[in-house]
């Protein structure tokens, strides 16, 4: 992908079907989608691609586990499905990551064990790994500086981690391959 090629494309084209302002995850994803549908697509980014929030996220592709607590089941199902699609389509950028929740009260044990089993079931075939109960010793082995006072055990569950900046660049390259025009530093061409 060469910027000079894109500058020439922009100069020679005077009609666009879709113009996107901003080359973060949202804009680049829209560019792929629009170009894939055959629209003449232009994306303008004033800095570099993914210079903003899209290279500064927590880098999680989570399935929305925290929304389960609010009972927002449809959002969790959608997030789990999207996580699975990302893992399948970009396995080099998305990987399984395990998290351990230390348990200190009798109620938190069944609460997190059952909640995370439901999370596993909702992920279905797109799940990254099964959650499981850990003894106090296993929890301590996994989190060596965990607070020992009243520690009962823990629950390990799986979610996704990804490289946000590389994902954005991959989207830019894909949009380029679909003949979208993409300009970074678009203020000075
Ligand atoms: C602390 C934090 C942690 C997060 N953690 C996660 C996470 O773990 N997992 C997850 O999936 N999401 C996470 N997110 C959310 C995710 O990072 C954002 O939803 C996503 O990056 C937003 O992408 P965007 O393209 O909408 O915005 P941006 O990445 O900010 O892109 C907007 C772009 O528009 C450009 N722009 C603005 N105005 C103009 C203009 N006038 N002309 C040209 N260009 C312009 C900017 O330069 C910028 O590059 C997190 C967000 C934050 C803040």
Report the DSSP pairing between strands 153-162 and 94-103.
antiparallel
At 20-29, the pLDDT tens digits run 999 999 999 9
Asked whether the predicted pLDDT for residue 119 surpasses 90, the reply is no
Atom of ligand 1 nearest to the CA of 186: 43
Cβ neighbours for 95, distance < 8 A, ≥ 6 positions apart: 160, 161, 162
At 133-153, the pLDDT tens digits run 999 999 999 999 999 999 999
At 46-76, the pLDDT tens digits run 999 999 999 999 999 988 888 877 888 888 8
How many whole angstroms from 167 Cα to the centroid of ligand 1?
13
The sign of the torsion formed by the CA atoms of 62, 26, 77, 74 equals positive
CATH of segment(s) 3-55+165-183: 3.50.50.60
Residue 171 pLDDT:
96
Structural domain spans, the chain: 3-55+165-183, 60-162
Residues 166, 93: Cα–Cα separation, whole Å: 7
């Amino acid at each position: 992908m060469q910027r000079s090629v894109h500058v020439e494309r922009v100069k020679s084209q005077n009609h666009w079907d879709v113009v996107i302002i901003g080359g973060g995850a949202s804009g680049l994803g829209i560019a792929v989608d629009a170009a894939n549908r055959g629209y003449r697509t232009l994306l303008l980014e004033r800095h570099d691609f993914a210079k903003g929030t899209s290279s500064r996220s927590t880098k999680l592709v989570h399935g929305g586990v925290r929304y389960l607590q609010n009972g927002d089941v449809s959002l969790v199902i959608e997030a789990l499905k999207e996580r699975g699609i990302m893992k399948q389509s970009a396995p080099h950028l998305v990987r399984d990551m395990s998290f351990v929740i230390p348990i200190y009260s009798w109620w938190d044990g069944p609460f997190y064990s059952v909640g995370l089993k439901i999370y596993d079931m909702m992920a279905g075939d797109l799940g990254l790994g099964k959650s499981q109960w850990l003894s106090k010793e296993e929890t301590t082995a996994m989190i060596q500086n965990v607070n020992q006072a009243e520690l009962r055990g823990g629950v390990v569950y799986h979610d996704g981690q990804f490289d946000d900046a590389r994902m954005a660049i991959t989207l830019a390259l894909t949009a380029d391959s679909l003949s979208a025009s993409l300009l970074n530093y678009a203020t000075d061409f």
